């Protein structure tokens, strides 16, 4: 074939290539190269066609050949560097791309490619320099701004990263990757409202982007808007049933809505698409554990750990599940493995102490709590639990910080957990009030003291003209708010609240809260002072074993138990009349019933000066 014929063939191949008829174009390039193996353009173009088809080996050899034949061509050298990067040869790629920018310092494309290779090698600062050069040369190159943002984000420079993504989007509004990067970076700032508004804009720009819908679902999930998150997932499922991440976030939302069986199915659907994500296995394990299938949960956590042995959350979950079935030695080693990876992992110390306690190894538990406190001297939880293990005679009320940390963290899962523990507080209160306050008339002023998430609110509402709840944990109060059953909810320490002259209550209820008080003297006096004449106080407590001689004890789990005699004495010392004291099972813990006291007392004295509407 003559030179002119070869040129024609290359021209034809380029036409086919541009028209997307890649296989035909490849055939023509091959014919040309068979006749003239050192045809520069045919080598370069065929190499790039292979690159386009992710065939990296032929791509590398043909583009390298074009560079050998035309070493001063900056475009060829740049593309060779890109291919080397795609093959993971990062050091070579960086050297090649540095040669490319030397050959043509005005090539923005070469600077971006150099930035990408440096970025991939975690040379973030050098990557930022390269992207900035590209942007100086071509300020409208959206990709340069986006990739600059990626490098800045990796450097944890979130604000400038956000600006870079925003500039990329301003240049190309439907740049889905830039939107996703923007949202991910905003998520790093943990500002859900800003992230949501960026996502809402993004979905307007790119309504068909499944990725953006999934991010929205995640964002709603993190903002604890589970129903809305689920609705986004269902919309996205109408678009595609083949996305593992989508089934994953759907599972998370279902799980948070307490639909454990549906969550399990959703995780299984995710794993049927991609079984390589350890997070999905771990979350499946948690759902299975919640569904009561602990052996299957253990298998899921182990699967997660096969994929990523350093996955400390899966190690923790595994330890919890092993403890649950009495495999204490295994639980200790799982939890220690989690702590070896993350020595700041507070929950792992705590659980480890529980396991030692379950093994009757009090010294082991104390040693773990001391280790925790050494790591985190500000941990009120570690401090409280250490006191619980070492000073059972303490009468001191649990520190406010302990209550806040404990219940803020617990708030979201509290209702589900208590359901699992078969918590009977509301049912017992309903029975007690029905027996002792006949003729429900909804005309009382009622205080729910330590209201938590408001589990007793529905019962109290039936008696209340006005229902006030008070609790130290803002997280718990937020949950209570969602019930829309209280007239007023106050975040405050109970004694402070009562001390601020809260008076005039017809009924005060305090369930499962005096277990954090130790001595009852002050709190009983406060209740007595806050009650109307003939007003009632109802409360529950955990009961000391009848054989125990002491009045109260701080237990290793951090809650107090009180003796019936001590409770009766404190009620009376506060000037209240004990109406009834019942021995009841409050809930089930570690498969054993928790014995408790259900008490009703009445204001016996004549009205004090605080008689009237509650005032604070």
Ligand X SMILES: C[S@@+](CC[C@H](N)C(=O)[O-])C[C@H]1O[C@@H](n2cnc3c(N)ncnc32)[C@H](O)[C@@H]1O
The Cα–Cα gap between 530 and 505 comes to: 6
First to last CA, the chain: 101
> Quick one: 236 or 460, whose CB is closer to ligand X?
460
- Nearer to ligand X by Cβ, of 256 and 511: the residue is 511
Q: Which is nearer to ligand X, 475 or 551 (CB)?
A: 475
**Least separation in angstroms between CB 88 and ligand X:** 52
Burial 122-132 (b: 16+ CB within 10 A, else e): ebbebbbbbbe
**Span 145-164, contacts to ligand X by CB under 6 A:** none
- Closer to ligand X by CB, 253 or 479: give it: 479
Based on CB atoms, which residue is closest to ligand X, 335 or 449? 449
Q: Are 253 and 245 in contact (CB under 8 A)?
A: no
Min. distance of Cβ 414 from ligand X in angstroms? 7
CB of 557 to ligand X, least distance (A): 12
Shortest gap between Cβ of 548 and ligand X (angstroms)?
22
Stretch that binds ligand X, among 10-18, 321-329, 330-338, 465-473 (CB under 6 A): 465-473
| Long-range contacts, stretch 558-564, CB < 8 angstroms, 24+ apart | 558/384, 558/385, 558/388, 558/398, 558/402, 559/515, 559/516, 560/514, 560/515, 560/516, 560/517, 560/518, 561/515, 562/514, 562/520, 562/597, 564/597
- Evaluate whether 139 touches 168 at the Cβ level (below 8 Å): no
Short-list 111, 184, 103, CA closest to 149: 184
Residues 207-266 that bind ligand X (CB under 6 A): none
By rule CB under 6 A, what count of residues binds ligand X? Answer: 18
**Rounded (10°) CA dihedral 189, 193, 197, 200:** 110
Least distance (Å) from ligand X to the CB of residue 133? 56
- Name the residue nearer to ligand X (CB basis): 452 or 614: 452
Among 24, 224, 265, 493, binds ligand X (CB under 6 A): 493
Q: Distance (Å, rounded) from C-alpha 330 to C-alpha 316?
A: 11
Q: How near is the Cβ of 399 to ligand X at its closest, in Å?
A: 9
Beta strands in 502-606 (DSSP E): 505-510, 531-542, 552-554, 560-562, 576-589, 592-603
Min separation Cβ 494 and ligand X, Å: 3
Please report how close the Cβ of residue 111 comes to ligand X at its closest, in angstroms: 57
Closest CA to 16 of 6, 28, 8, 4: 28
Point out which span in 148-156, 218-226, 277-285, 467-475 binds ligand X (CB under 6 A): 467-475
Q: Which of 254, 472, 485, 599 binds ligand X (CB under 6 A)?
A: 472
From 513, 490, 518, 510, select the one nearest 502 (Cα to Cα).
490
The smaller minimum CB distance to ligand X, of residues 375 and 483, is found at: 483
Q: Considering only the stretches 118-126, 178-186, 267-275, 471-479, report the one whose residues sit in contact with ligand X under the rule CB under 6 A.
A: 471-479
* Nearer Cβ to ligand X (115/454): 454
Q: Which stretch binds ligand X (CB under 6 A): 44-52, 98-106, 215-223, 469-477?
A: 469-477
Decide whether 251 or 450 has the Cβ nearer to ligand X. 450
Determine contact, residues 113/63, Cβ cutoff 8 Å: no
Site track 353-392 with ligand X (rule: CB under 6 A), x = hit: ----------------------------------------
Task: Identify which of 469, 471, 567 has the alpha carbon closest to the alpha carbon of residue 518.
Answer: 567
Least separation in angstroms between residue 429's CB and ligand X is 8
CB of residue 352 to ligand X, shortest distance in Å: 23
Q: What distance in Å separates the CA atoms of residue 544 and residue 551, rounded to the nearest whole number? A: 8
Neighbours of 272 (CB within 10 A): 10
Residues numbered 498 to 557 that lie near ligand X (CB under 6 A) are 511-513, 516
Which residue has its beta carbon closest to ligand X?
Answer: 452
For residue 61, the surrounding DSSP H or E stretch is helix 56-69
Q: Which of 476, 489, 530, 600 binds ligand X (CB under 6 A)?
A: 476
Nearer to ligand X, 101 or 429 (CB): 429
- Of 392-431, binders to ligand X (CB under 6 A) are 403, 407, 425
Question: What residues between 439 and 458 interact with ligand X by CB under 6 A?
Answer: 450-452, 455-456
Spatial distance between the Cα atoms of 513 and 448, rounded to a whole number of angstroms: 10
Closest to 263 measured CA to CA, from 238, 240, 243, 289:
289
Q: How far is the CB of 387 from ligand X (least distance, A)?
A: 15
Q: Which of 466, 581, 484 is nearest to 532 (CA)?
A: 466
Give min distance, CB of 456 to ligand X, in A. Answer: 5
Q: Give whichever of 366 and 398 is closer to ligand X, judged by the CB atom.
A: 398
Strand, helix or coil for residue 302 = helix
Q: How far apart are the C-alpha atoms of 425 and 453, rounded to whole Å?
A: 13
Q: Which residues bind ligand X (CB under 6 A)?
A: 403, 407, 425, 450-452, 455-456, 471-473, 476, 493-494, 511-513, 516
């Amino acid at each position: 074939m003559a030179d002119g014929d070869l040129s024609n063939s290359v021209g034809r191949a380029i036409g086919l290539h541009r028209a997307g008829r890649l296989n035909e174009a490849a055939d023509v390039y091959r014919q040309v190269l068979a006749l003239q193996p050192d045809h520069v353009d045919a080598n370069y173009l065929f190499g790039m066609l292979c690159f386009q088809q992710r065939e990296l080996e032929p791509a590398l050899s043909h583009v390298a050949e074009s560079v050998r034949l035309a070493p001063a061509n900056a475009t060829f050298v740049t593309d060779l560097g890109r291919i080397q990067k795609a093959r993971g040869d990062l050091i070579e790629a960086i050297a090649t791309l540095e040669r490319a920018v030397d050959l043509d310092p005005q090539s923005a494309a070469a600077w971006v490619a150099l930035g990408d290779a440096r970025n991939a090698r975690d040379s973030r600062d050098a990557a930022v320099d390269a992207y900035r050069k590209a942007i100086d040369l071509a300020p409208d190159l959206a990709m340069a701004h986006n990739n600059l943002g990626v490098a800045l984000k990796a450097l944890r420079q979130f604000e400038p990263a956000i600006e870079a993504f925003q500039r990329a989007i301003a240049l190309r509004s439907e740049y889905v990757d830039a939107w996703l990067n923007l949202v991910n970076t905003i998520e790093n700032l943990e500002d859900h409202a800003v992230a949501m508004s960026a996502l809402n804009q993004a979905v307007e720009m790119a309504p068909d982007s499944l990725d953006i819908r999934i991010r929205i679902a995640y964002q709603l999930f993190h903002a604890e808007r589970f129903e809305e998150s689920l609705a986004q997932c269902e919309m996205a499922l109408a678009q595609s049933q083949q996305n593992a991440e989508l089934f994953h976030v759907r599972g998370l939302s279902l799980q948070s809505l307490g639909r454990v069986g549906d969550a399990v199915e959703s995780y299984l659907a995710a794993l049927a698409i991609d079984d390589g994500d350890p997070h999905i296995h771990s979350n499946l394990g948690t759902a299975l554990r919640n569904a009561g299938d602990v052996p299957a949960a253990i298998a899921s956590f182990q699967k997660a750990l096969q994929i990523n042995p350093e996955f400390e959350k899966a190690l923790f979950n595994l330890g919890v599940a092993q403890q649950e079935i009495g495999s204490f030695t295994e639980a200790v080693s799982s939890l220690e493995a989690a702590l070896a990876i993350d020595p700041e992992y507070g929950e792992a110390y705590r659980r480890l102490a529980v396991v030692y306690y379950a093994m009757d190894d009090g010294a082991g538990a104390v040693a773990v709590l001391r280790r925790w406190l050494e790591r985190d001297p500000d941990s009120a939880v570690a401090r409280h639990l250490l006191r619980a293990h070492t000073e059972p005679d303490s009468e001191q009320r649990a520190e406010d910080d302990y209550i806040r940390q404990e219940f803020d963290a617990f708030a979201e899962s509290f209702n589900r957990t208590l359901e699992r523990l078969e918590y009977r507080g509301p049912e017992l209160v309903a029975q007690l009030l029905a027996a002792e306050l006949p003729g429900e008339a909804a005309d009382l002023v009622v205080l729910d003291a330590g209201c938590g998430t408001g589990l007793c609110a529905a019962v109290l509402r039936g008696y209340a003209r006005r229902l006030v709840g008070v609790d130290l944990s803002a997280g718990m109060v937020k949950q209570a708010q969602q019930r829309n059953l209280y007239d007023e909810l106050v975040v405050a320490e109970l004694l402070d609240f009562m001390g601020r002259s809260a008076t005039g209550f017809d009924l005060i209820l305090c369930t499962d809260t005096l277990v954090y008080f130790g001595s009852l003297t002050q709190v009983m006096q406060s209740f007595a002072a806050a009650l109307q004449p003939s007003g009632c106080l109802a409360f529950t407590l955990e009961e000391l074993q009848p054989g125990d001689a002491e009045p109260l004890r701080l237990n290793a789990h951090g809650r107090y138990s009180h003796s019936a005699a001590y409770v009766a004495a404190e009620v009376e010392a506060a000037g209240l009349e004990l109406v009834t004291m019942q021995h009841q099972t409050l809930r089930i813990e570690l498969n054993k019933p928790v014995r408790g006291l259900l008490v009703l007392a009445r204001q016996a004295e004549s009205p004090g000066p605080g008689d009237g509407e509650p005032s604070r």
